Amino acid sequence: MTARSVSITFAGSGGAGVMTAGNMLLDAAGRAGWYAYMTRSSGAQIRGGEAAAMMRLSTSPVQSHDDRFDVLVAIDWQNVGRFSAEIPMTSDGLVLGDPDGGEFPEQIGAKGARRADIPFKKMAKEIEGGRPNMIALGAVAGLVGLPEDAVLGVVRDSLAKKGEAARTASEASVRAGMAFAAGLPACPRLAAAEGQSERLWSITGNEAAGLGAVRGGIRFVAAYPITPGTEVLEWLAPNLAKLGGVLVQAEDELASINQIIGASYAGVPSLTATSGPGLALMTESLGLAVASETPITVVNVMRGGPSTGIPVKSEQSDLNIALYGLHGDAPHLVVAPNSLADCAFSTQWAVHLADSLQTAAIVLSDQSLGQSRATIAPPADPGFRAIRLMPEGEAAERYRRYTNTASGVSPMAVPGMKGYQYTADGLEHNEYGTPSSAAADHSAQLDKRLRKLAVHDYGQHWADIEGDGDIAVLTWGSTTGPVREALERFRASGGRARLVSIRLISPVRPEQLAAALEGVARVLVVEQSHGAQFHRYLRAHYDLPGSVRAFHRPGPLPIRPNEIFRQLADWS
Amino acid sequence: MTARSVSITFAGSGGAGVMTAGNMLLDAAGRAGWYAYMTRSSGAQIRGGEAAAMMRLSTSPVQSHDDRFDVLVAIDWQNVGRFSAEIPMTSDGLVLGDPDGGEFPEQIGAKGARRADIPFKKMAKEIEGGRPNMIALGAVAGLVGLPEDAVLGVVRDSLAKKGEAARTASEASVRAGMAFAAGLPACPRLAAAEGQSERLWSITGNEAAGLGAVRGGIRFVAAYPITPGTEVLEWLAPNLAKLGGVLVQAEDELASINQIIGASYAGVPSLTATSGPGLALMTESLGLAVASETPITVVNVMRGGPSTGIPVKSEQSDLNIALYGLHGDAPHLVVAPNSLADCAFSTQWAVHLADSLQTAAIVLSDQSLGQSRATIAPPADPGFRAIRLMPEGEAAERYRRYTNTASGVSPMAVPGMKGYQYTADGLEHNEYGTPSSAAADHSAQLDKRLRKLAVHDYGQHWADIEGDGDIAVLTWGSTTGPVREALERFRASGGRARLVSIRLISPVRPEQLAAALEGVARVLVVEQSHGAQFHRYLRAHYDLPGSVRAFHRPGPLPIRPNEIFRQLADWS
Amino acid sequence: MEATSTCPSYSARDYKSEVKPVWCPGCGDYSVLGSITKALAELSIPPESVALVSGIGCSSRLPAYTNVFGFHGVHGRALPIATGIKVSRPELTVIASGGDGDGFSIGGNHFMHACRRNVDMTYIVMDNEVYGMTKGQASPTTAPDWEKSKLTPQGTGINPFHPLVIALAAGANFIARGFSGDQNGTAQLITEAIRHPGFSFVQLLSPCVTFRPEQRDWKDMVHPAAVDPTDDPARAARRLMTDDGFNVGVLYRGSRKPFQPERQASVDSVADLEKEFVL
Amino acid sequence: MEATSTCPSYSARDYKSEVKPVWCPGCGDYSVLGSITKALAELSIPPESVALVSGIGCSSRLPAYTNVFGFHGVHGRALPIATGIKVSRPELTVIASGGDGDGFSIGGNHFMHACRRNVDMTYIVMDNEVYGMTKGQASPTTAPDWEKSKLTPQGTGINPFHPLVIALAAGANFIARGFSGDQNGTAQLITEAIRHPGFSFVQLLSPCVTFRPEQRDWKDMVHPAAVDPTDDPARAARRLMTDDGFNVGVLYRGSRKPFQPERQASVDSVADLEKEFVL
Ligand SMILES: Cc1ncc(C[n+]2csc(CCOP(=O)(O)OP(=O)(O)O)c2C)c(N)n1
Ligand SMILES: Cc1ncc(C[n+]2csc(CCOP(=O)(O)OP(=O)(O)O)c2C)c(N)n1
Ligand code: SF4
Ligand code: SF4
Ligand SMILES: [Mg+2]
Ligand SMILES: [Mg+2]
Q: Which long-range contacts (CB under 8 A, 24 or more apart) does C253-257 make?
A: C253/C173, C253/C174, C253/C196, C253/C229, C254/C171, C254/C172, C254/C173, C254/C174, C254/C198, C255/C173, C255/C231, C256/C118, C256/C171, C256/C173, C256/C198, C256/D159, C257/C118, C257/C197, C257/C198
Spatial distance between the Cα atoms of C96 and C109, rounded to a whole number of angstroms: 15
What does the pLDDT average to over D228-255?
Answer: 92
Q: D58 CB less than 6 Å from ligand 4?
A: yes
Q: How confident is the model at residue A196 (pLDDT cuts 50, 70, 90)?
A: low
What element of type H or E holds A142? helix A132-144
Task: Kindly state the percentage of chain B with pLDDT values over 90.
Answer: 95
How many domains is chain C built from?
1
SS3 D44: coil
Q: Give residue C69's pLDDT.
A: 98
What is the pairing mode between strands A51-58 and A35-42?
Answer: antiparallel
CB contacts, 8 Å: D45 with chain A: none
Q: Is the ipTM of this complex over 0.85?
A: yes
What is residue A88's DSSP assignment?
A: -
Distance from CA of D254 to the nearest CA of B (A): 29
Q: How confident is the model at residue B195 (pLDDT cuts 50, 70, 90)?
A: low
What is residue C35's DSSP assignment?
A: H
The interface residues of chain D toward chain A in range 90-149, judged by CB-CB distance below 8 A, are 91-92, 109-110, 112-113
Query: Of C75, C64, C81, whose CA–CA distance to C98 is shortest?
Result: C75
User: Is 60 exceeded by the pLDDT of residue C6?
Assistant: no
Q: Which residues of C244-258 are buried (b: 16+ CB within 10 A; e: fewer)?
A: ebebbbbbbbbebeb
Using one digit for the tens of pLDDT, what is the confidence trace for C68-88?
999 999 999 999 999 999 999
Name all chains with 3 or more CB-CB pairs below 8 Å to chain A. B, C, D
Task: Work out the number of other CB atoms within 10 angstroms of the CB of residue D16.
Answer: 17
Q: In angstroms, what CA-CA distances link D216 with A42, D62, D223, D224? A: 64, 21, 15, 18
D76: left (phi over 0), alpha (psi -120 to 50) or beta: left
Contact A73, A140 (CB under 8 A): yes
Domain encompassing residue D241? 12-277
What element of type H or E holds B264? helix B253-265
Q: C99 CB less than 6 Å from ligand 1?
A: yes
Contact A153, A28 (CB under 8 A): yes
SS3 A379: coil
Task: Kindly state the percentage of chain C with pLDDT values over 70.
Answer: 97
Q: How far, in Å, is the centroid of ligand 2 from the Cα of D131?
A: 6
The atom number, within ligand 2, closest to the CA of A284 reads 1
Q: Give residue D263's pLDDT.
A: 81
Q: Give residue D226's pLDDT.
A: 84
Biggest CA–CA distance in chain C, Å, is: 75
Q: Give the global pTM.
A: 0.98
Q: Does D255 touch chain C (CB under 8 A)?
A: no
Is residue D234 assigned to a domain?
A: yes
Is residue D5 assigned to a domain?
A: no
Q: How far, in Å, is the centroid of ligand 2 from the Cα of B155?
A: 35
Spatial distance between the Cα atoms of C265 and B180, rounded to a whole number of angstroms: 54
SS3 B466: strand
What does the pLDDT average to over B175-180?
Answer: 97
Q: Does B555 touch chain A (CB under 8 A)?
A: yes
Is residue D2 assigned to a domain?
A: no
Please measure the distance between the N-terminal and C-terminal CA atoms of chain B and give it in whole angstroms: 34
Q: B47 CB less than 6 Å from ligand 4?
A: yes
Is residue D1 assigned to a domain?
A: no
Is residue C7 assigned to a domain?
A: no
**Neighbouring residues of A120: CB distance < 8 A, sequence distance ≥ 6:** A75, A76, A98, A100, A101, A132, A135, A136
What element of type H or E holds D247? strand D247-253
User: Which is it for the CA torsion B176, B178, B183, B187, positive or negative?
Assistant: positive
B280 with A304: Cβ contact below 8 A: no
Spatial distance between the Cα atoms of A203 and A207, rounded to a whole number of angstroms: 6
Overall residue count recorded for chain B in this entry: 572
Q: How confident is the model at residue C1 (pLDDT cuts 50, 70, 90)?
A: very low
Q: How far, in Å, is the centroid of ligand 4 from the Cα of D203?
A: 17
A251 with D110: Cβ contact below 8 A: yes
Instruction: Give, using CA atoms, the residue closest to atom 6 of ligand 3.
Output: C24
What does the pLDDT average to over A540-556?
Answer: 97
Closest residue of chain B to D57, computed from CA coordinates: B46
Task: Work out the number of other CB atoms within 10 angstroms of the CB of residue C102.
Answer: 32
Q: How far, in Å, is the centroid of ligand 3 from the Cα of A366?
A: 25
User: Which is it for the CA torsion B350, B351, B356, B359, positive or negative?
Assistant: positive
Q: Give residue B196's pLDDT.
A: 67
User: Is 80 exceeded by the pLDDT of residue D5?
Assistant: no
Q: Does D230 touch chain B (CB under 8 A)?
A: no
User: Is 50 exceeded by the pLDDT of residue B180?
Assistant: yes
Q: Does D53 touch chain B (CB under 8 A)?
A: no
Is residue C4 assigned to a domain?
A: no
Q: In angstroms, what CA-CA distances link A423 with A402, D60, D122? A: 11, 12, 18
Q: Which residues of D178-189 are buried (b: 16+ CB within 10 A; e: fewer)?
A: bbbbbbebbbbb
**Neighbouring residues of C170: CB distance < 8 A, sequence distance ≥ 6:** C111, C112, C113, C115, C116, D161, D166
Name all chains with 3 or more CB-CB pairs below 8 Å to chain B. A, C, D
CB contacts, 8 Å: D103 with chain C: none
**A2-190 and A460-569 in the same fold:** no
CB contacts, 8 Å: C81 with chain B: 258-259, 261-262, 265
Spatial distance between the Cα atoms of A481 and A336, rounded to a whole number of angstroms: 13
Of A259, A398, A423, the CB nearest to D72: A423
User: Is 50 exceeded by the pLDDT of residue C3?
Assistant: no
The identity of residue B310, as a single letter, is I
Task: Work out the number of other CB atoms within 10 angstroms of the CB of residue B459.
Answer: 8
Q: Which range among A155-159, B449-453, C229-233 has the greatest average pLDDT? A: B449-453
Spatial distance between the Cα atoms of C116 and D142, rounded to a whole number of angstroms: 12
Q: How far, in Å, is the centroid of ligand 5 from the Cα of D81?
A: 27
User: Is 90 exceeded by the pLDDT of residue D136?
Assistant: yes
Spatial distance between the Cα atoms of B553 and B558, rounded to a whole number of angstroms: 10
What does the pLDDT average to over A464-477?
Answer: 97
Query: Of A481, A473, A540, whose CA–CA distance to A505 is shortest?
Result: A540
User: Is 80 exceeded by the pLDDT of residue C32?
Assistant: yes
**Residue of D23, D74, D134 to mutate, interface with B, max B Cβ within 10 Å:** D134
D110 with A254: Cβ contact below 8 A: yes
In terms of CATH architecture, what is A460-569?
A: 3-Layer(aba) Sandwich (3.40)
Write the DSSP assignment of B295-354 as a string of letters.
-EEEEEEE-B-STTBBTTS---TTHHHHHH-SSSS---EEE---STTHHHHHHHHHHHHH
SS3 A123: helix
Biggest CA–CA distance in chain A, Å, is: 85
- As a CATH number, domain B2-190 is 3.40.920.10
User: Is 50 exceeded by the pLDDT of residue D2?
Assistant: no
What does the pLDDT average to over B313-325?
Answer: 98
SS3 A347: helix
Q: Give residue B44's pLDDT.
A: 85
- Percent composition of chain D: helix, strand, coil (DSSP 3-state, to 5): 40, 20, 45
- Homologous superfamily of A202-376 in CATH? Thiamin diphosphate (ThDP)-binding fold, Pyr/PP domains (3.40.50.970)
User: Is 80 exceeded by the pLDDT of residue C170?
Assistant: yes
Structural domain boundaries of chain A? 2-190, 202-376, 389-456, 460-569
Average pLDDT, chain A: 96
Contact D131, D139 (CB under 8 A): yes
Chain B with chain C: Cβ pairs closer than 8 A:
189
Of C27, C151, C210, the CB nearest to A249: C151
Contact B528, B564 (CB under 8 A): no
User: Is 60 exceeded by the pLDDT of residue C4?
Assistant: no
The interface residues of chain A toward chain B in range 44-103, judged by CB-CB distance below 8 A, are 44, 85
Q: How confident is the model at residue A195 (pLDDT cuts 50, 70, 90)?
A: low
Q: How confident is the model at residue B38 (pLDDT cuts 50, 70, 90)?
A: very high
User: Is 90 exceeded by the pLDDT of residue C183?
Assistant: yes
C142: domain CATH number?
3.40.50.970
Contact A316, A558 (CB under 8 A): no
